[in-house]
Amino acid sequence: MFRAMGILTVKDVNLSGKRVLVRVDFNVPLGENGEISDDTRIIAAIPTIKYLADQGAKVILVSHLGRPNGEKNDKFSLAPVVAVLSKRLNKPVLFLNDCIGESVHKIVLDLQDGDVVLLENVRFYAEETKNDESFSKKLADLAEAFVNDAFGTAHRAHASTVGVTKFLSPCVAGFLMEKELKFLGEKTSNPERPFTVILGGAKVSDKISVIDSLLDKADAMIIGGAMAYTFMLAKGNSIGASLVELDKVDVAVSAIKKAQAKGVKLLLPLDSVVTDKIDFDARSVGELKVVDEDIPDGLRGVDIGPKTIDLYKKIITESKTVLMNGPLGIFEIETCANGTFEIAKAIASSKLTSIIGGGDSVKAVKKSGFADNVTFISTGGGASLEFLEGKELPGIVALDKK
């Protein structure tokens, strides 16, 4: 198992007066007019930035945004982030329109203690994702120490996450990174029991390793979303025209066997909400009805049914730790979101450690309106999944150990 907890953090070192390169994850979603439509990731990085600036460090923020494919492209400029940042930090933040080069270097050498600057999108250079050594050195040359607070990109060995660590010392984790490791690592490896894992989403194939790894830790595993139909087929149920991965039925069979051998309760839907038509683009479905386990020909499961919601809720309220990853139905369509929202509500309103891991499940919990009651919401999508699989993330491995 990955020993995440031995990493040095900003609390372990004195960075006062130093120029500190801070890798943050400001990969925020942008609206049609380039406005920031969700500033969660910016807000999540504030404690580290504030701590460093208050300590008298000269803070140099570096991030990527979107996929500019190694070319300068105004559409992916980090400039819109500055306003949110300076408002949250309650101080001016200087934006530099490049991330390396002579003029950037000159400005950072002139920084005063406590100043905060934001570099332009590091992925405007193809060298970033190639973890190019000379590009890494140019970035590192701006600073005297490195802080990584970008959990969302910790699963990528890029110049700004791994390359720079060769040239800077110390290299430590920020508060957000520390929190992600604590909740996705410590709290799921050594959970307060009973520990229930809820897995949903579209595909078993994306989650094979997570299922396998979490069956070693959980007391109960709840399966929902389209993933459930591959499991139900493995169990011998008919699934109508529901989304299924026929080539992953054997994976489901192995998971069912592993759960039995380990004494993990593996729960599948007792009933489903089904329809004969789905128009995802129009966010509409045909007539909805509830059927028990076996789904008739031509119908597709779009959400978990009421009996399943009751069963899953019961398991949740009996748990002390719950980890949720993936929605339990097509939550983007309002009439198919009930199961996901009811489960989110049950998690949020129970007295337990609740961890929501990445991507669509975060969106679903936010949409349900209960996000504030959850113990921890991970900022990483792919990184959360890889971490939960027990993989070593290069961005974390590259940091200094205690």
| Site residues for ligand AMP per CB under 6 A | 200-203, 206, 225-226, 243, 301-302, 326-327, 329-332, 359-360
In the residue annotation, 391 being an active-site residue is answered as no
Active site residue 262: no
**Catalytic residue of the set 359, 363, 380, 395:** 359
CB of 214 to ligand AMP, least distance (A): 15
Q: Which is nearer to ligand AMP, 9 or 275 (CB)?
A: 275
At 399 the three-state DSSP class reads coil
Burial of 269 (0-12, 13-18, 19+ CB in 10 A): buried
Report how far apart, in Å, the C-alpha atoms of 116 and of each of 55, 85, 172 are: 12, 10, 18
359 is known as an active-site residue: yes
* Complex with ligand AMP: residue 316 or 333, whichever CB lies closer: 333
Neighbours of 353 (CB within 10 A): 18
**What is the rounded distance in angstroms from the CA atom of residue 223 to the CA atom of residue 226?**
9
Answer yes or no: are the C-beta atoms of 78 and 34 closer than 8 Å.
Answer: no
Q: Which of 203, 265, 345, 366 is catalytic?
A: 203
Q: What are phi and psi of 394, to 5 degrees?
A: -55, -40
Active site residue 203: yes
Give me the least distance between CB of 272 and ligand AMP, in Å please: 8
Return d(Cα 66, Cα 84) in angstroms, integer: 18
Per-residue exposure over 390-399, b if at least 16 CB sit within 10 Å of its own CB, e if not? beebbbbebb
CB of 372 to ligand AMP, least distance (A): 22
Helix (H, G, I), strand (E, B) or coil at 355: strand
The residues pairing with 35 across neighbouring beta strands, listed in sequence order, are none
Pick the closer one to ligand AMP by CB: 102 or 297.
297
Beta carbon nearer to ligand AMP, 49 or 330: 330
Shortest Å, Cβ 339 to ligand AMP: 9
Q: Which is nearer to ligand AMP, 170 or 339 (CB)?
A: 339
CB of 367 to ligand AMP, least distance (A): 12
Cα–Cα nearest to 190, from 316, 320, 314, 313:
320
Give Rg (Cα) of the chain: 23
Chain residue at closest Cβ approach to ligand AMP: 201
In angstroms, give the least distance from the CB of 336 to ligand AMP: 8
Cβ proximity to ligand AMP: between 147 and 274 the closer is: 274
Catalytic residue among 41, 58, 248, 300: 41
The token pair that represents 254 in the structure block? 């192995």
Least distance from C-beta 207 to ligand AMP, angstroms? Answer: 7
Q: Find, among 48, 62, 57, 66, the residue nearest to 11 by Cα.
A: 48
Which residues, at least 6 apart from 55, have a Cβ–Cβ distance to it below 8 Å? 14, 15, 16
Is there a contact between 383 and 152 (Cβ–Cβ < 8 Å)?
yes
Residue closer to ligand AMP, measured from CB, 163 or 225: 225
Crossing angle of the two packed helices 40-54 and 81-89, in degrees rounded to 10:
50
Beta strands in 36-182 (DSSP E): 58-62, 94-96, 116-119, 145-148, 171-173
Enzyme catalytic residues: 41, 203, 359, 382
